[in-house]
Amino acid sequence: MYWAKEERFSGGDNHGVPWHEKLNKAIWRGVATGGRNKENNWKGFQRHRFIAMTNHTQVSRAESWEEIPKNFALPTSIYNIAAQQENRLGEWIEEWSDTGFIDLMCYPARDDGTCPYTSPHFSLKEGEKMSKQFNSKYIPDIDGNSFSGRYRGFLLSSSLPIKATIFREWHDSRLVAWKHFVPMDNRYMDFYGIMQYFVGYEGENYRVEGHDEAAERIAKAGQDWANKVLRREDMQIYVMRLLLEYARVSNDERDRLGFVRDLV
């Protein structure tokens, strides 16, 4: 997916408007993957959890004890979320969250993208081209059935990637958390704190200063670095080195093989 030049993974040649022209929002669009979700297991899926946690209606109902959340828990006091202290977590999320599914990936599948067991909890949203998503400042990136094929495109954009994954990838050692991207726990419980740090909060009794300049700085550093170390030729070199090492460990003389030009 990284090698392909498909716009849905790369965003094409459009890497986003200047930071000061972006919407002060976190945007995510995708399908409800992460495995084959069924009526008896969807509550354990990571994408369903993320969308529920960033849906202001579901969070507001949980805050008011109107409804017990089906697949997530509200943050505990250790996270010190100001909006939650004022019982306004759902309202605050509405100010900056633009997340949603474009297909609920029902089993058995339905042509209209809906699903009898998840449609009561999730409304479908219109898809957004990746290039248009770059008009928002914050772009969370989470796993689906495998690693996210959008991550390289996100890093090359002028927006700020917020990354959660269980997968190791070829470029991991080249990227530094909080320098080139923002890391996020796979449970997503720290996402509220991350967004509070960057966008801030203004309430009746609590005020948290945002750090917009820090977000812009990380986004710019990540984009600049990605243009240096995540090029197509970097991917080619990595694969060639991988094949060389595979050939070495597969050889019966592996202990005697190596690169020794510096010793000649």
Q: What is the pLDDT of residue 264?
A: 53
What's the rounded mean pLDDT across residues 140-145?
A: 94
What's the rounded mean pLDDT across residues 186-202?
A: 97
pLDDT higher than 70, residue 244:
yes
What's the rounded mean pLDDT across residues 73-80?
A: 92
Q: Look up residue 227 and give its two tokens.
A: 């243009």
CA distance 94 to 96: 6
What's the rounded mean pLDDT across residues 234-257?
A: 90
Q: What is the largest CA-CA distance in the chain?
A: 75
Minimum mean pLDDT range among 5-19, 122-136, 200-214: 5-19
Give the pLDDT band (50/70/90) at residue 259. low
Strand ordering across the sheet containing 182-183: 97-103, 23-31, 136-141, 160-163, 182-183
pLDDT higher than 70, residue 10:
no
Please say whether the beta carbons of 101 and 121 come within 8 A. no
Calculate the alpha carbon distances from 28 to 22, 61, 129 in Å: 15, 22, 11
Query: Domain residues of the chain, as ranges?
Result: 7-229, 231-263
What's the rounded mean pLDDT across residues 16-21?
A: 96
Query: Percentage of the chain surpassing pLDDT 90?
Result: 83
Q: What is the pLDDT of residue 115?
A: 95
32-64: per-residue pLDDT in tens?
Answer: 999 999 999 999 999 999 999 999 999 999 999
In the chain, which ranges are continuous DSSP H helix?
7-10, 46-53, 56-63, 82-85, 89-96, 130-133, 151-155, 191-199, 212-229, 232-250
Whether the model pTM is above 0.85: yes
**Phi/psi of residue 28, each to 5°?**
-150, 135
Q: What is the pLDDT of residue 262?
A: 56
For the domain spanning 7-229, the CATH number is: 3.40.50
CA distance 52 to 177: 26
What's the rounded mean pLDDT across residues 163-187?
A: 96
